[in-house]
Amino acid sequence: MAFAVTLHLLSAVIWVGGMFFAVYVLRLAAGPMEPADRIALWSRSFKKFFPWVWCAVILLISSGYYITFVGYSGFKNLPVLYHIMHLLGWLMVILYLHLWFAPYSRFKRAVEEQNIAVAGQNLNQIRMIVTANLWLGLLNIILGATGRYIN
């Protein structure tokens, strides 16, 4: 069980920490750059970060269900806050899947076609989704860290 919880925690830290870095550090640092350079930076960053997100998503889902069914013998025995975390986690996954298959797909195509304006529009959509997911992730971390103290 300790291994599953560790994988779950590290996966959340990697995904949410990466989103925090993207929204509150990289975006601000890239702001003064020329649009083409900014798009190129984000394109390279996404190529490096998104494989980690896929790993995190797979590990979060698999470890979460392992914890649920092995540690708690199913959903009926889970604390209410874990049900909330489960819902928030799936919302995050759905948002990430939308990001991957819609604006990120269009962003990659625009980058390949060197269409900076369209890439920028899709980058803005990605930013909004990542920001929403960041706050859902932070809420999930708060629930996971403090849930046992809330009655």
Average pLDDT of the residues in 70-75: 96
Counting the structural domains of the chain, the total is 1
Average pLDDT of the residues in 62-86: 96
Mean of the per-residue pLDDT values for the chain?
97
Q: What is the pLDDT of residue 151?
A: 60
Tens of pLDDT, residues 11-52: 999 999 999 999 999 999 999 999 999 999 999 999 999 999
Average pLDDT of the residues in 55-73: 97
Q: What is the pLDDT of residue 2?
A: 96
Q: Which long-range contacts (CB under 8 A, 24 or more apart) does 79-86 make?
A: 79/147, 79/148, 81/143, 81/147, 81/150, 82/147, 84/143, 85/140, 85/143, 85/144, 85/147
Q: Is the pLDDT confidence value at 149 over 90?
A: no
Average pLDDT of the residues in 83-90: 97
Tens of pLDDT, residues 98-127: 999 999 999 999 999 999 999 999 999 999
Q: Which of 29-38, 85-94, 138-147 has the lowest mean pLDDT?
A: 138-147
**CA–CA distance, 59 with 12 (Å, rounded to integer):** 9
Quote the pTM value.
0.94
Give the range of the structural domain holding residue 89, as residue numbers without chain letter. 2-149
